[in-house]
A = this chain, B = another copy of it.
């Protein structure tokens, strides 16, 4: 018996009368047999392809339904080369995905990305950014149509590898070095910092301090240099404290250090999410009132700053908008429909002005704080 003949036999409907595949689950051939058509017709009917009469289509669909037929995603992926899966990298510190400070940002960004991907028929797979080793295995164990990288590190081997094998990569955060991403989306961090420093100065700040990080990622670098440039422009001596932002405890200590300096600032911008509460607590310890003695702004996506005492002005990077844009760009690249959109997209930020950064009576339109009870 030749291979072809054997083939023939195993594909004939003469086998066990449908419904009894070794697997237990019905396959496309069971449906074909039960519906009295060929497997092509089944495939076409189920996928809306071909030009079948509606009668055939609905009949096949009914039979498939009755048999509880579920197409094999693996087979389809192998055949079409498309998996409908998009990788989402998360930076890992040690064993843990996500950093402490990125948490709220990441969660919101991922939420939006998930939603946007689902709306276009894709699902996200959470994957670790390159770690020491072994992470590579998991990357080659999943068939991806594309990948989103959050805060790509300089020469990330995974990104390079993916791009080299023709898989589109879109990053959240402009790529450092010469990393060859397909497209990227980022905030205009420098403009954001300039804007908020101007806002603080307008509110009467004479010496603005900066609570920043010791790491060299783009966000930290751009924000810090924008601060230094601003200081130089207005002729203020920089007052900077830096700390390892991935350490959940270091922030409070650094906030304390900043307010303990001889050149104590009368306003502070904190680059990371928890800095607002850290600084508020530090101010209390030093008997400083916010906003009377100290103006405060921090970069955060957390809604808690709307109801702290006092409410704290925050810079929002709008991670939801970024997540959505990243996904649109990526899917456009995957499907080859993206010629229209620019591949480098700079997104605006939102300064949500609250009590902590204003010495004069509130008259902003954004997030007006609730009136305080009489003291």
Q: Which residues of A come within 8 Å of B, CB atoms?
A: 2-4, 7, 24-25, 68, 70-78, 81, 83-85, 90, 95-98, 103, 106-107, 110-111, 114-115, 118-119, 121, 123-128, 135, 137-138, 140-143, 164-166, 248, 252, 274, 277-278, 280-281, 284-287, 302-304, 306-309, 370, 372-374
Contacts and interface: CB of A to CB of B under 8 A. Distances in A.
Q: Which 5 A-B pairs have the closest CB atoms?
A: A3-B4, A277-B307, A74-B77, A74-B78, A73-B143
Given A3-B3, A24-B165, A287-B373, 18 more contacts: A2-B3, A70-B140, A71-B140, A72-B78, A72-B143, A73-B141, A73-B142, A74-B74, A74-B78, A77-B77, A77-B143, A83-B142, A95-B115, A118-B128, A121-B141, A123-B125, A123-B126, A274-B304
B370 A281 contact: yes
Contact of A309 (B73, B78, B121, B284): B284
Task: Count chain B CB atoms within 10 A of each CB in A107, A114, A126, A138 and give the residue with the most.
Answer: A126
A292 to B, nearest CB: 15
A14 to B, nearest CB: 19
Contact of A137 (B121, B135, B248): B121
23 contacts: A3-B3, A3-B4, A70-B165, A72-B143, A74-B77, A74-B78, A74-B143, A77-B77, A84-B138, A84-B141, A85-B125, A97-B114, A118-B127, A118-B135, A118-B138, A121-B138, A121-B141, A123-B138, A123-B141, A123-B142, A124-B125, A125-B126, A285-B370
Nearest to A113: B126
A309 B166 CA distance: 53
Contacts of A372: 284
A174 to B, nearest CB: 25
Contacts of A306: 277
A138 B117 CA distance: 11
Nearest to A79: B74
A127 B73 CA distance: 15
Nearest to A108: B103
A278 B84 CA distance: 41
